[in-house]
Amino acid sequence: MRTLVGRMLSRLKMKVIAAEDGQRGLQALDRATQPVDLIICDWNMPGMSGMDVFEQVRARRPGLPFLMLTGRADLDSVVSAKKAGIAGYIVKPVSQPELQTKLSFLARKSA
Amino acid sequence: MPPGGQPPERPRRGTATPFLGTEDTLFSYVDQLAEARAGQRAMIVHLSRLDRLRRNDKHRQIVVNMLQQVMDEYPGRLFALGNGDVVAICKGITRRAFDETTELFRYLFNDDPLAAESVQRADFCALFDLEIDYPQFLSALDDIRETALRQSRTRVTPQLATSAVRSPRIDALVKSLARIDIANLMRRQTVWQMSPARPPDPVLDEIFISLDRIRKASGVDVEFANDRQLLHDLMLWLDQHLLATVARYHASVMHPLSVDIHLATLLSPVFDDFDKNPAIVMRDRIIFEMQLAELTADLPGYLSATKRLQDRGYRRCLDGVSHQALLYINFRRLDVDYVKVVWDDALLQSDDQTLRELRDAIADCGSGRIILTRCGRRQAIDVGRTIGIELFQGWQVDQANRN
């Protein structure tokens, strides 16, 4: 999924920093030499969950748009994500146009 | 009877597999509900008003699943309408629970113009307290019914292709078939996901019309094998019937629909008319099957048709693939959603080496894409599983799983 989404983003002419889990993702965010405009994260990952990552990102970079890309389509998960303040939520599988419109929305929202 | 009587039937409580009623059952349920409105609330989720990009099976399934969970503690019914909208009717549910659900849907679809703050919430999710708002609810349903009627009026009656070359017998055959309701001759066969650790799960339904039935129903003494032009003309005419059926039912049936369609139809204005039909609201619930023989006979035509289908959001399946062809053709490169491999009893005699090669070929293509079809015996499933196949179709499979 990471590779697939990375490919979609590259096709959209976006620069992508990919990380295989939450811990490495946060390290990449801390070490990034260029501004990071958006985080896309899975909910279920080895180690930290997507929700844990979101909390950490919010502590480091409040207001940074965060998109949860997940297989979870149940009520509790959607309620949790909304309550936590996650701005974007996409249930997998995702198509490139779907990803693109969600990213445009997040960009407009954070502008 | 005033509001407060008994509901029309004992509605079911939520279960893991939501039962989805259709438009017809909704209208009859609502008529009966007139006598038992106390505590009943309804919600219409207007998925048909979402941007085309989001009008798909995934999103409807999400909405249905979430409503099912909301309604878990209350007796109620869910209905999927032909236009893609979902209707929930539920007794005892609080207005607040429905309001919160509306907000969740607005959150999930927050990139759609329909979920914008400036848009009335009721334009997306309309709520009705049926004790008070029953007339308004009926009026909203009437709008949906009117739209469905308008769509059915614009439905194209299949016409004969006006090609220069035409079998002289096709007119007589079509004239005789015009007296019959072709829909009654259609049959359905399910493709099942059958993994060892899980109960069989229906994935899609193929609808088809058997030539044998056509011959018997027409009463015309004709041997199609002896008149290839007649067969060709008839197949294109039947394609139009299948397309009309798909247009009508694809959004309201439980599983996506697949139809075997001819390349000539896909590349003709008949398909453009079908695609423009406002009834086509969920393209990813429609799978077009094309035959491998047509691919080999007209590769440019096939590539053009398959690209066209992909661009418009339909799913594609390549049918008529032998197990031998699996070993020699790179189906991954053909870029289709499914490949149908025809069961052959010769597979029962295959040696370990052949089975290994087949397993590798299937893994390479993606086992989730391969459907073993025409499974007429139990061993087909056993052999299929041995080589990594999870999707099966055939009368034996239907019989075993429906039992």
Partner A contacted by B73 (CB < 8 A): no
For residue B89, give Cα distances in angstroms to B23, B58, B245, B301. 13, 22, 28, 48
A vs B: CB pairs below 8 A: 41
Q: Domain spanning A2-110: which superfamily?
A: Response regulator (3.40.50.2300)
**pLDDT at residue number A70:** 92
Domain membership of residue B7 (yes or no) is no
- Residue (of B267, B260, B325) closest to B296 by Cα position: B325
Q: What does the pLDDT read at residue B130? A: 94
pLDDT at B319 over 50: yes
Minimal Cα distance from A103: which residue of B? B111
Give the rounded distance of the alpha carbon of B23 from its chain centre.
Answer: 15
Could you tell me if residue B4 is inside a domain?
A: no
Chain B residues 260-289 with a CB less than 8 Å from chain A: none
pLDDT attached to residue B338: 95
Report the pLDDT averaged over residues B257-269. Answer: 90
Q: Is A27 on the interface with B (CB under 8 A)?
A: no
Pairing of strands B201-209, B257-260: parallel
Contact A75 B66 (CB under 8 A): yes
Contacts of A93 in chain B (CB under 8 A): 58
Secondary structure (DSSP) of B197-258 = TS--EEEEEEEEE-HHHHHHHH-----GGG-HHHHHHHHHHHHHHHHHHHHHHTTTSSS-EE
Give the predicted TM-score (pTM) of the model: 0.58
Q: Does the beta carbon of B66 lie under 8 angstroms from any beta carbon of chain A?
A: yes
Kindly identify which residue of chain B lies nearest to residue A79, measuring between CA atoms. Answer: B104
Residue B13 is assigned to a structural domain of this protein: no
Count of beta carbons in the 10 Å neighbourhood of residue B364: 12
A99–chain B nearest CA distance, Å: 10
ipTM of the complex as predicted: 0.94
B261 in a structural domain: yes
Strands B125-129 and A39-42: unpaired
A78·B65 Cβ contact <8 A? no
C-alpha pair distances (Å), A1 with each of B35, B239, B367? 52, 37, 17
Question: Can you give the residue range of the structural domain that contains B279?
Answer: 170-402
Q: What's the CA gap between B70 and B97, in Å, rounded?
A: 7
CB < 8 Å to A98, chain B: 53-54
Residues on chain B touching A85 (C-beta within 8 angstroms): none
- The answer on pLDDT for B264 being more than 80 is yes
pLDDT bin (cut points 50, 70, 90) of residue B187 is confident
Plot region of B13 (φ>0 → left; ψ -120 to 50 → alpha; else → beta): beta
pLDDT of residue B6: 40
What confidence score (pLDDT) does residue B316 get? 95
Cβ neighbours of residue B226 under 8 Å, at least 6 residues apart?
Answer: none
Within 8 A by CB and 6+ apart from B343, the residues are B372, B373, B374, B375, B376, B380, B384, B394
Domain coordinates in residue numbering, chain A = 2-110
Is B360 within the bounds of a domain?
A: yes
pLDDT value of residue B154: 53
Say which CATH number the domain at B129 has. 3.30.70
**In a shared domain, residues B190 and B135:** no
CA distance B57 to B46: 14
Task: Calculate mean pLDDT across residues B63-69.
Answer: 89
Same domain, B200 and B131: no
Residues B134 and B66 in one domain: yes
Low-confidence ranges of chain A (pLDDT < 50): none
The pair of structure tokens assigned to A106 is 């997040």
Best A79, A96, A99, A108 member to test B by mutation, with max B CBs in 10 Å, is A79
A88 Cα to chain B: minimum distance (Å): 8
- Per-residue b or e along B244-278, where b marks 16 or more CB atoms closer than 10 Å to that residue's CB: bbbbbbbbbbebbbbbbbbbbbbbbebbeebbebe
Q: What is the mean pLDDT of residues B255-275?
A: 90
Per the listing, tokens 């029953």 go with B134
CB distance from A36 to chain B under 8 Å? Answer: no
Distance CA A54, CA B98 (A): 28
Count structural domains, chain B: 2
Q: Is residue A54 less than 8 Å (CB to CB) from chain B?
A: no
Mark which residues 75-104 of A lie under 8 Å from B by CB: 75, 78-79, 81-82, 87-89, 91, 93, 97-98, 101-102, 104
Query: Of the candidates B53, B61, B107, which has its C-beta nearest A98's C-beta?
Result: B53
Residue of A nearest to B70 (CA): A75
Chain A residues inside the 8 Å CB shell of B51: 101
Whether residues B143 and B174 share a domain: the answer is no
Separation in Å, CA A45 to CA A24, A41, A60: 11, 9, 20
Q: B191 and B305: one domain?
A: yes
Query: Which H or E element spans position B105?
Result: helix B95-108
**Pair B225, B279 in one domain:** yes
Q: Is the pLDDT of residue B148 over 70?
A: no
**Distance spanning both ends of chain A, measured CA to CA:** 28
Same domain assignment for residues B138 and B266: no
Residue of B nearest to A102 (CA): B111
Q: Does residue B333 sit within a domain? A: yes
**pLDDT score at B207:** 92
User: Token digits for B35?
Assistant: 């006598």
Q: How far is CA A10 from CA A14, A67, B262, in A?
A: 5, 17, 36
pLDDT tops 70 at residue B158: no
- For residue B16, the tally of other CB atoms under 10 A from its CB is 6
Residues in chain B, how many?
A: 403
In a domain, B242, yes or no: yes
Interface membership of A110 toward B (CB under 8 Å): no
Asked if residue B346 and residue B208 are part of one domain, the reply reads: yes
Residue B402 pLDDT > 50:
yes
